[in-house]
Amino acid sequence: MKMAGYGIRLMCAARTVVLAAAVTVSFDVSASAQVKQTEHTLKLEEKAARPKATLADVKLLAGHWQGDFLGAKAEELWLPPAGGAMAGIFRLYEGDKVMFYELMLLVEEEGSVSMKLKHFHADLKGWEEKDAMKTFRFVQATPEGVWFEGLTFLKQADGTLKGYIALKGKDGSAQEEAFVYRTVK
CATH number of the domain bearing residue 71: 2.40.128.20
Strand partners, 183: 65
Q: Are 179 and 163 in contact (CB under 8 A)?
A: yes
Give the integer Cα–Cα distance in Å for 74 and 30.
37
Distance of CA 3 to the CA centre of its chain: 56
Among the ranges given (12-16, 70-74, 120-124, 172-176), the one the predictor scored with the smallest mean pLDDT: 12-16
Is the same domain home to 7 and 81? no
Q: Which of 13 and 70 is assigned the larger pLDDT?
A: 70
Q: Work out the mean pLDDT of the chain and round it to a whole number.
A: 85
Is the same domain home to 140 and 78? yes
Is the same domain home to 59 and 128? yes
Q: Nearest 5°: phi and psi at 142?
A: -135, 175
Q: Are 163 and 150 in contact (CB under 8 A)?
A: no
Q: Are 73 and 184 in contact (CB under 8 A)?
A: no
In a domain, 58, yes or no: yes
Give the integer Cα–Cα distance in Å for 108 and 98.
31
Is the same domain home to 65 and 151? yes
Is the same domain home to 74 and 27? no
In a domain, 142, yes or no: yes
pLDDT on residue 32? 54
Q: Give the range of the structural domain holding residue 48, as residue numbers without chain letter.
A: 42-183
Q: Nearest 5°: phi and psi at 57?
A: -75, -20
Q: Are 65 and 184 in contact (CB under 8 A)?
A: yes
In a domain, 151, yes or no: yes
Is the same domain home to 27 and 100? no
pLDDT band at 142 (very low <50, low <70, confident <90, very high): very high
Q: Are 69 and 92 in contact (CB under 8 A)?
A: yes
Is the same domain home to 19 and 53? no
DSSP string, 87-148: EEEEEEEETTEEEEEEEEEEEEETTEEEEEEEEEETT--BSS-TT--EEEEEEEEETTEEEE
pLDDT band at 90 (very low <50, low <70, confident <90, very high): very high
Among the ranges given (24-38, 84-98, 103-117, 169-183), the one the predictor scored with the smallest mean pLDDT: 24-38
- How many structural domains comprise the chain? 2
Is residue 30 over pLDDT 80?
no
pTM, rounded to two decimals: 0.79
